[in-house]
Amino acid sequence: MLKWRKNTLKFGILLLISSCVLETSNSLVEGLESTRAYDYTKYHPMDEIYRWMEDVEQGNPELVSSTVYGHTYEGRKITLLKFGLKNPEGREKKVIWMDCGIHAREWIAPAFCQWFVKEIVNTYKTNTKLEQMLQNLDVYVTPVINVDGYNYTWVNSSTRLWRKSRSDPPPNSTCYGVDLNRNFNANWGTVGVSFDSCSNTYCGNSAGSEPEARACDGHCKMHEHILCFLTIHSAGQLILLPYGHPEISAPNYDELVSVGKAAAAEMKKVHGMDYTVGTSPQILYANSGSSRDWARLIGIPFSYTFELRDKGEFGHLLPEEQIQPACEEAFAGALSIITYVHDKAFNSGVLV
């Protein structure tokens, strides 16, 4: 009888272990399925992106959570995905911010945010360095920040190249929308903007007048430990650093250039594409009110705008066959910057 009980106990323990292994295996499979079943080489309308975000969160509960941190002018949710693992030492974590789709017509930008998420979800369990970074960092990713504008670009071919938000026209005008990347409180309204509401660079009637810009501002200011702010655009193959105003220079300008050039070098290794690094006045044009400049002004030490492919052949109508190579090189660049920022904060012995 005693021998039978011991065997029964052993059998029960084996069943429990098998059950735990199977549950872990199923969880891993579900997490991978949530990203692998999705077609990352296609552009997706907003309703599909929302569903994809839900699937990613549900399939990876140990890594991913979501937050609705604002609403657009037309009342749509502005949602981010947060990626992070528990710090084994209980240490306070730092934050990386990434947003895409602030300009509605730049479809490759949201496509990249989705690609970035896929790479994180599918590799962090087998990439020791990435796992370490996710134990020290929380990465916030907003796939589409200008949801109204992005949604409008899907209406028909005549709306495909819409750039701005979809806020109502000001008095005595019939022109909708504000350029959200001219609406932040960063030397607002000084250079590279228009006060004509029909212009693509209309900066709004005041700094932070638009709910999308206020949502970003408010959520970022809730977190004192944001190390890096990455905002993804197209086109031109550029890595832009603060500031857009030609008479103002970031205090860590040299380091920003060095880190940006290292990222561009990593990007070139992937498909041989050149990305130019510099401030907007140096390599593009002067502007004010950008989220990149605003992020640096509020104290986020590393702030960059990525302008993805291409250099003029297709512009904002980048073909779907270029999504994968564009995202692969952009991921290499983003990971280069994030790794540098992480290592500076956590491996130098001095937390910033």
Quote the pLDDT of residue 21.
42
Q: Can you count the helices (H) and strands (E) in the chain? A: 10, 8
Catalytically annotated residues: 307
pLDDT value of residue 348: 61
pLDDT surpassing 70 at residue 352:
no
DSSP string for residues in 282-322: HHS----S-HHHHHHHTT-SEEEEEEES-SSSSTT---GGG
Angle at 203 between CA 80 and CA 74, to 5 degrees: 45
Q: Is the pLDDT of residue 1 over 60?
A: no
Helices 108-123 + 46-59 axis angle, to 10: 10
Which tokens sit at 338?
Answer: 């994030």
Cα separation, 148 vs 163, whole angstroms: 11
Distance CA 215, CA 76 (A): 12
- Give 9's pLDDT tier (boundaries 50, 70, 90): very low
| Per-domain boundaries in the chain | 38-347
Rounded CA-CA distance 331/259 in Å is 15
Residue 132 dihedral angles phi and psi, to the nearest 5°? -60, -45
Q: What is the mean pLDDT of residues 45-59?
A: 98
Among the residues of 37-107, which ranges form H helices?
Answer: 46-59
Choose between 212 and 32: higher pLDDT. Answer: 212
The mean pLDDT of the chain is 92
In terms of CATH architecture, what is 38-347? 3-Layer(aba) Sandwich (3.40)
Q: What is the pLDDT of residues 143-181, one digit of tens each?
A: 999 999 999 999 999 999 999 999 999 999 999 999 999
pLDDT at 228: 98
Q: What single-letter amino acid sits at 202? A: Y
Alpha carbons 137 and 127: distance in angstroms, whole number: 15
User: Is the pTM above the cut of 0.75?
Assistant: yes
| DSSP H/E element including 142 | strand 137-142
pLDDT, residue 208, reads 98
Mean pLDDT of 260-271: 98
Question: What is the average per-residue pLDDT within 46-73?
Answer: 98
